[in-house]
Amino acid sequence: MNNNWWKEGVVYQIYPRSYKDTTGNGLGDLEGIIQQLDYIQSLGVTMLWLCPIYESPNDDNGYDISDYRKISDEFGGNKSFDRLLAAMRERGLKLIMDLVVNHSSDEHHWFQQAKKSKDNPYHDYYIWRGNNPNEKPNNWQSVFNGSVWKWNEATQEHFLHLYTQKQPDLNWENPKVRKEVYAIVDFWLAKGVDGLRMDVISLISKRLAFEDVPNEMPFIDVMEKVYANGPRVHEFLKEMNREVLSNYDIVTVGEGPGVNLVHGPRYVSAREKELNMVFHFDHLTIDFGPDGKYDPVPLDFVRFKAIFRQWDEALANDGWNSIFLGNHDFSRIVSRFGNDGVYREQSAKLLVTLLMTLRGTPYVYQGDEIGMTNVAHSSIECYDDVETRNAWKAAEAAGKDMNKFLKAVHWQSRDNARTPMQWNASENAGFTTGKPWIPVNKNYPTINVETAEKEANSILHYYRKMIAFRKANTTLVYGDFVDLLPEHPQLYCYRRWDKEANFLLVHNFSDTPTSWEKPSGNYEFVFGNYSNEKQALLAPWESRIYRSV
Ligand code: NOJ
């Protein structure tokens, strides 16, 4: 297995809309990121992944792109982008851009042309089926609810959209589309961008028969078996790698809904020459119930650990893992996997100890470093996210218990992670002087960067310490991994080792003090999230790092 800069680094993910507004229009912008580069660098992270900042009508907050070569004026345009890239260069920070090419915006000029007539040169850039406005070509459901098919009057056929109606899927079968995509990729890489996070890249190759899915099939299985990992996906990625990616020293991470242990290794095998990493969602869909995301079930902790173990095993000799617990599409990690009440500090620290000590490249999502939490608005009107809103409408139409559904929204809505970054205790958390595009979490007077900076024991300082520790110990990057207590209902205990060192980690994922027998061996306590490691019991949400001497 080769050593690489992107294996040894740590990624910080920014949702630019919610990071820092410098114009007072209530939306974060690139100047805001530039202003905060000292702060970002002080965390010790080495790469920044920016969610999409291209021109977009924002039906899905930038995941619907209308010009792939233009940075949206809302964010400061191409000039601000160049300034940001230069400022990052000076600091040795690497930039990962989002690449959203499973679909474009319907306002992209390709689609504007494509929908005009069947003989338009761009028509075949998208996917068309059927000729009856009253009959959908099949029963596929969009990720954001409703049919995946939308009728187009001018050509008398439906087009495919796996996400919103304003996100038509591109036709990767058409070599011209692939050429366009590679040219876009080349445009950004030639500018000096260091990496790409590829949005829903597991979905680009469609099963062209478009057969109905069985009605009773849970959506999570539809994703895995019908939408994702299509027949030509590996061929397309190899082609992209050959044509453009391999010309640069970059990092690639493919977002992989439906990517499982069978397909995952193929996407990231060094031999296969496709991508460097994928984001699989096995551990983030773990609490989806029979009715999906908004029908949550309790988290099965033993399964949670098994997922990490299995993925580690699968990529131990070839390929590389991404280690993450949340992002802009999921709840706040301290609320979901920790305890955001009395043990917020301890559990947030535990979670970063976990992130920094597993094998793979760790990803930190903005605000997690100060322990930002979920929100619980009393009305759906306070939610902006198209997924949340559509799920709400569908639940209403299905006659569901909407009080119960609101609780599910509190638990699962993507807006939990999209509330503005909490910089200080001033109005709107110091995020904007205007009206924020989405409500600020009310806990900002206590949970914010300025306050955390002043407290020696804050989550923020612990993040810095943990990231530095990771970077100083390549054993934690490349070393072997073994789960020592896979069946334990609340402890996660594992070893990481190589020729250099041997670490023992233990985390108490619970509110109760838990007894633990330290494995034999000469283990010395290094540090943890509680100061007193001598106690026989592990305190609630305690994490300890030992090293053998
Ligand atoms: C995954 C992105 O992370 C999410 O925010 C978006 O809605 C979908 N892909 C569609 O692009």
* pLDDT number for residue 497: 98
Q: Which CATH superfamily is domain 478-548 in?
A: Golgi alpha-mannosidase II (2.60.40.1180)
Which of the four pLDDT bands, split at 50, 70 and 90, describes residue 1?
confident
- Every domain range in the chain assigned CATH 3.20.20.80: 8-104+175-375+415-464
Angle formed by the axes of helices 386-397 and 402-412, nearest 10°: 160
Whether 295 is a known active-site residue: answer no
Residue owning tokens 């233990």: 506
Task: Read off the DSSP letter of residue 545.
Answer: E
What is the tens place of the pLDDT at every residue in 91-119?
999 999 999 999 999 999 999 999 999 99
59 lines ligand 1 (CB under 6 A): no
Report the atom number in ligand 1 closest to the C-alpha of 163: 10
Structural tokens at position 460: 């923020």
Whether 239 is a known active-site residue: answer no
If we measure between CA atoms, which residue out of 511, 479, 513, 509 comes closest to residue 496?
479
Class of residue 271 by CB neighbours under 10 A (exposed 0-12, middle 13-18, buried 19+)? exposed
If we measure between CA atoms, which residue out of 437, 375, 381, 382 comes closest to residue 407?
375
Residues 352 and 539: their CA atoms lie apart, in Å, by: 17
Residues 544 and 549: their CA atoms lie apart, in Å, by: 16
For residue 203, pLDDT beyond 90: yes
- Every domain range in the chain assigned CATH 2.60.40.1180: 478-548
* pLDDT number for residue 93: 98
Check: CATH 3.40.50.11540 for 109-160? no
Give the type of residue at 491.
L
What is the tens place of the pLDDT at every residue in 413-448?
999 999 999 999 999 999 999 999 999 999 999 999
Q: Above pLDDT 90, what percent of the chain?
A: 97
Nearest CA to ligand 1 atom 8: 63
Class of residue 368 by CB neighbours under 10 A (exposed 0-12, middle 13-18, buried 19+)? buried
What is the tens place of the pLDDT at every residue in 315-342?
999 999 999 999 999 999 999 999 999 9
Nearest CA to ligand 1 atom 6: 63
For residue 533, pLDDT beyond 70: no
3-class SS string, 34-98: HHCHHHHHHHCCCEEEECCCEECCCCCCCCCCCEEEEECHHHCHHHHHHHHHHHHHHHCCEEEEE
- Every domain range in the chain assigned CATH 3.90.400.10: 109-160
Structural tokens at position 434: 């205007």
For residue 532, pLDDT beyond 80: no
199 lines ligand 1 (CB under 6 A): yes
Q: How far is the CA of 546 from the centre of ligand 1 (A)?
A: 39
100 lines ligand 1 (CB under 6 A): yes
For residue 272, pLDDT beyond 90: yes
Structural tokens at position 255: 């977002």
What is the tens place of the pLDDT at every residue in 361-410?
999 999 999 999 999 999 999 999 999 999 999 999 999 999 999 999 99
Structural tokens at position 342: 């009395």
Q: How far is the CA of 63 from the centre of ligand 1 (A)?
A: 6
For residue 491, pLDDT beyond 90: yes
Q: Of residues 74, 169, 255, 542, which has the active-site annotation?
A: 255
Check: CATH 3.20.20.80 for 8-104+175-375+415-464? yes
Residues 278 and 256: their CA atoms lie apart, in Å, by: 6
Count of beta carbons in the 10 Å neighbourhood of residue 348:
31
Provide φ and ψ at 311, rounded to 5°: -70, -35
Which of the four pLDDT bands, split at 50, 70 and 90, describes residue 196?
very high
